Each structure stands twice: as C-alpha cells, then as structure tokens.
Structure 1
Amino acid sequence: MSEADGTAPARADCVADSAGGLTFHIADGARPAPGGHDDWSGALVLLRRGAADAPDGEVRLPLGPTADGRLQAALPSTVALPEGRWDVHVAYGDAEPRRLAPGLNDLRSLVDRRPGPSTSPLSVRIPYATKHGNLSLRSWRRAPHAEAGEIRLGDDTMTVRGRLHRVAYPSDWLAEAVVEARRRGGTAPVRTAPLEVDGPDFSFTLSYPELARSWDGGADVWDLWLRPADGSMAPARLARILDDIADKKEIFTYPPRTVTGPHGEVQARPYYTRGNDLAVRIEASV
C-alpha cells in the first residue's frame, strides 16, 4: 500500500517492440471517466527524473480502452525521449499523476536487438522496477552508437568487440578510426589504440599499463569512445544498451588485473557505468 489513500497503485504491463517502442497495459486500477461506462479519459505521464519542470521533462501519452477492458498507451520509437530515467505515472482529468507499479514485462524483442540501417538516432527504452517498487524507464537516444559486445581479458590488456550503428556507411566511418580513452577530469593525455574493422564490426585492445602511467593515487576512470578520422563527424560512446537489462553495473562484472604504475602496483578493470557506458577503472591494489 504505497498510495496516500491506502490503496495499492495500479500496475502496468510493458511490451517492447524491436524498433524501440513500448506499449503499456494497465492491468488494474483503470477506471472509466464520469461520462459513462464507455467514456474513458486519462494519460500515461512520463516525468524525467531531475528535469520534470524542463520543457522536455514531461511526456503525456493518451490512454484508451482495449477489448479486454484494460487501458493502453503506446510510446513509439518515433517519439523523441531524451536520455535519462523516467518515472511512469497515470493521470485522470485534473487529478495529480500517480505512480504506477511494474507488472509483467515482455522484452523478448530487446534481447540481442539488431537495429536496421538508418542515420536517425537510436531509441532504446528499458522498463524496470525501482528499489521502492515503482515503474520507471531508462532511455537512451544516440547517433552514432558503438555497441560493446564480448570483452576478453588478458594479463594486462582488455580486448573488446563491438558494432557501429546509426551512421550512413559504417565501414567508411570506422576506416582509420581509433578507440579513445579519456580520463575523467581531463587531467591526462588522451590514450588511443587502433581498430580492427570488418564492415560495421570492430575490435580493439587496450593496454592497462598505458592507462596506469597517469595514475598518481586515488581512482582514475577512463571513458571509452570511438573517434573517426574525419573530425567533422561526431565520436561514438562505447556502451551496451541493445538488450533488456536497464542497469548493468552490478550484473556485468569483470575481475581486476594487477599492473605496475609509476607509483606502485594498481588494479585495472573494465566496468559499465550507471548509464551502461563502458569505462576502465584504475585504482590502488588492495
């Protein structure tokens, strides 16, 4: 019982499609408007966390009845949903929006998703349950996008395979491109490594000792990007978003490797950030 009036919140089932759209079915708590049994009114309200008052911080989707008496709202991939975390509500008339609880999710179309050729931004929306038992969405909108795949760890290296999406000619974009490791805070030179390219697919190997050369205590985080040779084209952030897992940081974990830095031994390991971007962490050995 999480509502102020002591009633349990309505639950919403989510169905994802391969284009990046979502359909919401309110499984309970739906009610017709006062105009009559067949007169329905209401909206599914998405509020971007930390930006609800911003011009692009709210999205309202009309609710309509289905044949089985539930309410339904559609969020097609063509609706531009800025990146972030969106809390899902239902609202009727002038009443305040109320949070929805997660129901059953059918996210099979998101598993190993392979977007078709396009230069429009890639839309990814993954519903999930918050720690308080509410329904929220994690949204990404990227062009270009570099999807990270298999990560293999050597004694002092990491090798990453991936695929480039949302550029007109992936193999041309990747030709002479490099992977770029950028230390957060911008207090060290950018480290680069070459790519091996096969059409839209790429791979690269990063040296942990090379990253550790700048370590002087504490923890360093290096964010990974693909940078094309043509400086007029935007770089692509390495991330893993084309599946059904909203938060990968605690699920995809990799063992650290011990390497020698200028100030002693350090541990290096890849990890996914809270935004599912790929990074490398360098810190003192335990």
Structure 2
Amino acid sequence: MSLPLAPAAEGRLRAALPSSVSLPEGRWDAYARLSDGEPRRLVPGVTDLRSLADRTPSGLLGHVAVRIPYATRQGNLTVRSWLRAPHAEAVDLHLAGDGLTVRGRVYGTQLVPGADAELRARPGDGESGRDGGGVRRVEVVAERTEFAFTVPYDGLAPGVWDLWLRPAGDHGPAVRLARLLDDVADKNPVFTFPRARVRTPYGPVEAGPYYTRDNDLSLAVAALDA
C-alpha cells in the first residue's frame, strides 16, 4: 500500500492512513521513498497512543479494525493491524485457584440463548492434541453484547487450548477470543499471568492463560511430576 507524502510543519513530510481505508490483518513495515530513490526503512518518532487505550467501539460497522504502530527489535517502524468480523474482545480475566473466568464483549454479532464458549486443543500439542485434538464447551452468561464464562482447569489434558466464542451456539460462527482494543501491539511479553496447580484425571498439571503472538487468548496446561 502506498500513501502520498505531503509537506508538514518545519520542513517535514507527512503521510496519513485514513480510518476509512481498509488495512488487511497483518504486520506492515513502513518505508519512505523520495523521488526515484530506493525505499528506506522508517524509524518511529514520538507516538501518542492514548486514543487507543481502553476504547469501546460502537460496533455499528459490523467489524473491529485496529492499527497499532510499534518499534521492531531492530528499531524500525511497523504497524500491526487486525480486522475482525465478528470479534469477541477479552475485557477482563479473573484467575482463581482452579480455573479462569473471562468477561468480554462481542462486536458484529448478537449473543443469543444457547451461546457457549469452546476450548479447542491444538492438534499434535501434548495429550490434548492427540488424535486430531479435542473440544471442551462451557456455558456462557450473556447480557446484550457482554458475556462471561468460567473454565475449570481440572478437566483439561496437558497441551495448548485456544479459546473461542460461539455467540449463537451450534448454529452460528465461531469467534476467536482476543484482546485488541488497547495500545499494546504484542501482549505476550507484557501481560503475564500466574499458573495454578491442580489435579486432573491426567495427573497434576500447571495451567494458566496467555496471549499469543496475534493477541488471541489461549490456555497452557503443562504436566507436572506426580
């Protein structure tokens, strides 16, 4: 995607990406090309991301579009974008000694009676992912666009479990839970959660939530020595 450079104050050049322009989900590296020269990688200056923190979109557009600029490990400017339709935002995580309660909000869809949450084992990842993986369902408490559910750890096999919401139960879409509506481009090293030790039919485990590289919500369950 190319954007025009226009003169700005103090001899600077400026390029703007309007919110009305759709930016597909992914990571976009920023370059500048002057005249006929080679594109040069940009580095970030001062960024003001306060408008992104704890925002609540209206949901009238039927989707959630998020763009967060950040500095890469090499110090270059990249924009992380998400475009989700529908979207299930993980607003709050409450950790207890034997489980996890998730509270969130949906965009671009409706919560109906029979809505539930799914935990899907990643294929090939630990005991949970053997033989093509497994699925666990838990009941959802819904009120308008807000939802809550609790995941007990004692029924989970070791492995990685990805969290999904089914706003209309079996008859509607499956929506990946994620936390996107803030100013943190990569939540994995920033949002860390304690692990709980519980006994399961598979033996003692250590379990807890984490955000993936794409800021999706998952659960890690690790076997412990008996």
Fold agreement, TM-score > 0.5:
yes
Equivalent-residue separation in structure 2 for 1:232 and 1:263 (angstroms): 32
1:265 equivalent in structure 2: 204
Match status 1:95 vs 2:95: no
- Aligned-partner Cα distance in 1 for 2:40–2:9: 24
Deviation at 1:180, TM superposition (A): 0.6
1:281 alignment partner AA: A
What residue number does 1:66 align with? 8
Structure 2 counterpart of 1:126, from 68, 89, 95:
68
For residue 33 of structure 1, what is the aligned residue in structure 2? none
Please state if 1:141 is matched with 2:83. yes
Q: Which residue identity does 1:189 align to in structure 2?
A: G
Identity of matched residues, % = 52
Which residue identity does 2:143 align to in structure 1?
D
CA contact (8 A) 1:65 1:72 kept: yes
Q: Given the superposition, is the C-alpha separation of residues 270 and 174 from structure 1 closer, same or farther in structure 2, using an over 3 Å criterion?
A: farther
Aligned counterpart in structure 1 of residue 188 of structure 2, from 249, 271, 276: 249
1:210 has 2:149 as partner:
no
CA distance in 2, matches of 1:77, 1:184: 35
1:79-107 per-position Cα deviation (integer Å, ceiling 9, x unaligned): 22111111111012332211001101111
- Secondary structure (helix, strand or coil) at the match of 1:209 reads helix
Cα distance change on mapping 1:133 and 1:277 into 2, 3 Å: same
Inter-CA distance 117–95: structure 2 relative to 1 (3 Å threshold): same
3-state SS of the aligned residue for 2:94?
strand
- 1:237 is displaced (CA, Å) by 1.1
The structure with the larger Rg is 1
Q: Aligned partners of 1:96 and 1:175: how far apart in 2?
A: 57
Bigger mean CA offset, 92-101 vs 266-275 = 92-101
The answer as to whether partners of 1:144 and 1:235 remain within 8 angstroms in 2 is no
Deviation of residue 154 (structure 1)? 1.4
TM-score (norm. length: structure 1): 0.72
Taking the TM superposition and a 5 Å limit, the aligned residue runs for 1:1-286 are 59-167=1-109, 170=110, 173-185=111-123, 187-212=132-157, 215=158, 220-229=159-168, 231=170, 233-285=172-224
Task: Using CA pairs under 8 Å that are at least 6 residues apart, name the structure with larger relative contact order, 1 or 2.
Answer: 2
Q: Are the counterparts in 2 of residues 119 and 143 from structure 1 also a CA contact under 8 Å?
A: no
Q: Distance in 1 between matches of 2:203 and 2:36?
A: 63
Given residue 194 of structure 2, which amino acid in structure 1 is its aligned partner? P
Deviation readout 1:153-181 (Å, 9 max, x if unpaired): 112110011111123xx3xx343211111
Q: CA contact under 8 A between 2:62 and 2:107: conserved in structure 1?
A: no
* Distance in 1 between residues matched to 2:115 and 2:122, nearest whole Å: 21
Q: How many residues are treated as equivalent by the alignment?
A: 218
CA distance in 1, matches of 2:40, 2:52: 28
Q: How big is the shift at 1:262?
A: 3.2
Distance 1:231 1:91 in 2: 50
Is the 8 Å Cα contact of residues 155 and 201 (structure 2) preserved in structure 1? no
Give, in angstroms, the shift of residue 197 of structure 1: 1.1
Residues 208 and 103 of structure 1: CA distance in aligned 2, closer, same or farther (over 3 Å): same
Q: CA deviation at 1:149?
A: 1.4
Change in 2 beyond 3 A, CA 1:174/1:77 = farther
Contact 1:148 1:238 in 2 (8 A): yes
User: Which runs of 5 or more structure 2 residues have no equivalent in the other structure?
Assistant: 124-128
Show structure 1 runs of 5+ residues with no match.
1-58
